[in-house]
Amino acid sequence: MLAVHFGAGNIGRGFIGSLLYQSGYETCFVDVNSEIVDLINEKGEYRVVLADASHEELLVKNVRALNSASDPDKVVDAIAKADLVTAAVGPNILPHISGLIAEGLKKRTTPVNVIACENMVGGSTLLKEKVYEKVTEAERAAFDKRVGFPDAAVDRIVPNQSNEDKLMVTVEPFYEWAVDETKIIGDKPPVDGITWVNDLKPYIERKLFTVNTGHAVAAYFGWQAGARTINEALESDKIKQALAATLQETGRFLVTKYGFDEAGHNAYIEKIIGRFANPYISDEVTRVGRSPIRKLGGNDRLVSPASQYAKLLGETPVYLAKSIAAALLYDYAQDPEAVEVQETVQQDGLASAITRFTQLQEEQPLFKEVVMQYEDIQKNGI
Ligand SMILES: NC(=O)C1=CN([C@@H]2O[C@H](COP(=O)(O)OP(=O)(O)OC[C@H]3O[C@@H](n4cnc5c(N)ncnc54)[C@H](O)[C@@H]3O)[C@@H](O)[C@H]2O)C=CC1
Ligand SMILES: O=P(O)(O)OC[C@H]1O[C@](O)(CO)[C@@H](O)[C@@H]1O
């Protein structure tokens, strides 16, 4: 079985690639990082090491790689032959890989599924839209019959790597890969470790608005407090308390919306906070807080739960508003999105920046709370 996986980065190698190998696939990674592509082809294997006391290692074999910038035709050929196509490149990159996927799919007559493994609601659906923009109506009709784009929720903390062995990836032991089985075309790909679900929405919202909201809070609050890593941020009782309070807010709306068992959800929150504090992982706040414009978007981990909370419960979520404010204040000079947010606030004013990045409107109580929290952080810190 051949899997073509776009993005040989942390999640690509450390999570998806390792499950594909363990399930018997040959994996052809596609990336634009020539150093990683060359190394994968030179070694033909890499190590995945668990970030716990065991330091257990898995040697992932049966891998090769293609550089989509220099060898696009080979990528198209690989997609034409693949039994499964996956991606973990980041939401903003999905439009850039859609052209090659479209070309590869045009060359096929047999069914295949394409799964985007990104931190977002509807990643594969977005990829499908981008692929469909690049083909004719007749091709779209043909793809409808033989290409599935099931959405997915992926959960495994894989920090930036600083190992001497550039292919090695240290990963947390926990993982969850939930895929929408209702959108599969043909047989389900036999990947051990996928949890097939017939309603992904509760999974993706619970995960995005707990794991990713919580992580973002630790990162943005940590940045304000001068912490370099998530572990450092969580050494502060104030940040720990704010993190717990934020997850109580997202928890309240999730339990109300989906009817999750409250005690079970609280245990889920506790487990996640424990995962953030894993002493075997050193995770920079700048990685977890990366791309604040994406994270401030109306459908993402801060504004979506805040808006849904306000709508569903009729109250303004104070800690989520504080989290949005902290994201707006994230001024890491090496993150282009953070720079753009800061420039927008300076040039156009805070109100205009909030509307532009969060799509919240000035008359909304949540908007006003964000402004208050922003001013409070500026004056008093986190
Ligand atoms: N790292 C983590 O703990 C988790 C990450 N995710 C999601 O997985 C996705 C990837 O994240 P990471 O692996 O952390 O990022 P990463 O930066 O380590 O990996 C992304 C890879 O995509 C490659 N890439 C960029 N443009 C490309 C293109 N046009 N064609 C092919 N490859 C391209 C990059 O060179 C890089 O190797 C993101 O959506 C992220 O939200 C989800 C769960 C956990
Ligand atoms: O990959 P993103 O969406 O930029 O955000 C980083 C998030 O992804 C993770 O890497 C894993 O879910 C978390 O560490 C963090 O919440």
- What residue owns the CA closest to ligand 2's atom 6? 288
Q: Which residues are within 8 A (CB) of 177 and not within 5 positions of it... i.e. 6 or more apart? A: 15, 16, 19, 117, 152, 153, 154, 155, 191, 193, 194, 195
Out of 16, 94, 157, 290, mutate this one to test ligand 2's pocket (max ligand atoms within 8 Å of CB): namely: 157
Q: Which ligand is nearest to the CA of 39?
A: 1
Nearest CA residue ID for atom 37, ligand 1: 9
List, as residue ranges, the binding site for NAD(+).
3-14
- Best mutation site among 35, 36, 75, 89 for ligand 1 pocket (most ligand atoms within 8 Å of CB): 89
pLDDT computed for residue 345 by the predictor: 98
Measured in Å, residue 229 CA sits from the centre of ligand 2 at 14
Annotated binding-site ranges? 3-14
Predicted TM-score of the model (pTM): 0.96
pLDDT confidence of residue 67: 98
Residue 121 confidence (pLDDT):
96
Instruction: Please give the distance, rounded to the nearest whole angstrom, from the Cα atom of residue 93 to the centre of ligand 1.
Output: 9
How confident is the model at residue 242, as a pLDDT?
97
Atom index in ligand 1 nearest the CA of residue 118 equals 39
Looking at the CA of 9, name the nearest ligand: 1
CA of 9 to the centre of ligand 1 (A): 5
The CB of 156 under 6 Å from ligand 1? The reply is yes
Enter the tokens of residue 226: 């001068």
Which residues 6+ apart lie within 8 Å of 50 measured at CB? 56, 57, 170, 171, 172, 173
Q: What is the DSSP letter of 281?
A: -
CA of 138 to the centre of ligand 2 (A): 38
User: What is the spatial distance between Cα 287 and Cα 282, in angstroms, rounded to a whole number?
Assistant: 11
Q: What is the pLDDT along the chain (382 residues), one digit of tens a residue?
A: 999 999 999 999 999 999 999 999 999 999 999 999 999 999 999 999 999 999 999 999 999 999 999 999 999 999 999 999 999 999 999 999 999 999 999 999 999 999 999 999 999 999 999 999 999 999 999 999 999 999 999 999 999 999 999 999 999 999 999 999 999 999 999 999 999 999 999 999 999 999 999 999 999 999 999 999 999 999 999 999 999 999 999 999 999 999 999 999 999 999 999 999 999 999 999 999 999 999 999 999 999 999 999 999 999 999 999 999 999 999 999 999 999 999 999 999 999 999 999 999 999 999 999 999 999 999 999 9
Whether the CB of 90 sits within 6 Å of ligand 1: yes
The bound ligand whose nearest atom lies closest to the alpha carbon of 171 is 1
Which strands form 169-171's sheet, in the order they lie side by side?
57-60, 46-50, 169-171
Report the separation in Å between the CA atom of 254 and the middle of ligand 1, taken as the mean of its atom positions: 27
pLDDT of residue 64: 98
* CA dist., res. 369 & res. 317, Å (int): 8
Q: Give the number of the atom of ligand 1 that is nearest the alpha carbon of residue 117.
A: 8
Q: Which three-class secondary structure string do you get for 190-209?
A: CCCCEEEECCHHHHHHHHHH
CB 5 within 8 A of CB 25: no
- Is 295 in contact with 226 (CB distance < 8 Å)? no
Domains of the chain as residue ranges with CATH: 2-198 (3.40.50.720), 201-380 (1.10.1040.10)
Which amino acid, one-letter code, is at 315?
E
Nearest ligand to residue 210 Cα? 2
Residue located via tokens 């079985």? 1
